[in-house]
Amino acid sequence: MSLPKIALIKQHFKGPVVSDIDAAMAEQLSAVNIEETIKPGMRVAITAGSRGIANIAVIIRAAVAELKKLGASPFIVPTMGSHGGATAEGQVEVLHSLGVTEEFCGAPVLSSMDVVQIGETPAGMPVYIDRNAHEADGILLMGRVKVHTDFKSPIHIESGLMKMAAIGLGKHKQALLIHSYGVHGIRDLMPEVAAVVLEKANVLCGVAITENAFEQTAKIEAVPTEKIREREAELLQESAALMPKLPVEDIDILLVDEIGKNYSGTGMDTNIIGRIRILGVKEPESPRIKYIVASNLSEESHGNALGIGLADLTTKRLFDVIDYQKMNENVITSSFLSRAAIPIVLENDRAAIQTALRSNWGVQPENARFIRIPDTLHLEYIYVSESLLPELRGLDHIEVVREPEEMVFNQDGYFAKWHVDEK
């Protein structure tokens, strides 16, 4: 079977960027008068999630340094629900893979799955937080504000500080409770749980992070505890405006080189691929993709291939590295079982593409609308089929870097890894 020729293009995105993280952190913590709260010897817990947030280790290190200047004794708490196999050791491993270590950040990592009940929501749901955080003298609530991959919130509270307070600090026990209600739980009940945490726990302030389309830190903003809910809703809309996207809405085949938890909590960002696959949740209207190929799993995912169920085809390479204990723990906690369903497994990239082309009814292979991306987080450099170039040439934000050429695979039938300047 003939395969479509592909061209390398560059998408030119725009957005703010924080050039000096240490200075930004110092300025922001000063703006909320953190020095009036910190007393010498105070033990302060800093939350650290499992997402691949740009510069997260540097941002945490900057917070540690500022707290130490004021005489505090900061420590880092893994706040990631059921991730890392829902074990204390697994969650430390996740943080280490993100560069968040005691050696780099200058503060110990205290990991435990033990929680303490601090209250309950108006509807009677128990509210838990990490025991180490509860026993600290204060909590610095840190997290990235971003559109969620499972739902759209009418109150604009999705993935951010509120979710970190509820599901992050609540560990596996709170995550199970909230997710047992499906989308209603994470969309509607999660903010109620977070509100109890903000009221009952000693949260000193929030540190909200947003990113631009290049996965760079766009903003670091310290938020007074009492204003977290209101300000997060505003930051969510700012973040959404900065998100990258695919260059066209109608695609026959999308090949994703790597899926993984470091790219999105769902392995592939549902906002990018236009698939949610949750019972009772309406699918996005765009983009419209016929077939998605998941080619490989990132090392940072440690075998957790959650999100593979969003694809139609995968490869033997990916299938062979799945850690079912980690993946199943994560997907069963969320209760969105389809996202861990294994699609058709093909020998390699070439076989997967050929299968998708064979099933692309009525379209000749050379005319297929094909796109290859490194992952759903990095969309600056991507490959597109020759058939897409007529509608992309001339667009202000699109640059054709390399003219169409034949697809090239290695001896095992896989595409080569992306070059540094293509990612």
Contact 6, 407 (CB under 8 A): yes
* DSSP state string for 321-379: T--HHHHHHHHHHHT-GGGG---EEESSHHHHHHHHHHTSTT--GGG--EEEES-SS--
The number of angstroms, rounded, from the C-alpha of 28 to the middle of its chain's C-alpha atoms is: 24
Q: According to the model, what pLDDT value does residue 421 have?
A: 61
With vertex at residue 113, the alpha carbon angle to CA 112 and CA 117, rounded to the nearest 5 degrees, is: 115
Q: How far is it between the farthest Cα atoms of the chain?
A: 72
Over residues 94-109, the mean pLDDT reads: 96
Q: What is the mean pLDDT of residues 161-182?
A: 95
Mean pLDDT within 10-19: 92
Task: Give residue 242's pLDDT band: very low, low, confident or very high (50, 70, 90).
Answer: very high
**What pLDDT, on a 0 to 100 scale, did the predictor assign at position 141?**
98
pLDDT of 343: 98
User: Which of 129 and 335 is assigned the larger pLDDT?
Assistant: 129
* pLDDT for 422: 62
Each residue of 266-291: b (16+ CB within 10 Å) or e? bbbbbbbbbbbbbeebeeeeebebbb
Distances, alpha carbon 146 to alpha carbons 109, 158, 186, 218, 412, in Å? 25, 7, 14, 12, 37
Residue 423 has pLDDT above 60, yes or no: no
- Indicate the pLDDT class of residue 70, thresholds 50, 70 and 90: very high
Region 58-71: mean pLDDT is 98
Indicate the domain borders of the chain.
21-242, 244-422
- pLDDT score, position 419: 67
Q: Which CATH number describes the domain made up of 21-242?
A: 3.40.50.11440
Report the predicted TM-score, pTM, of the whole model to 2 decimal places. Answer: 0.79
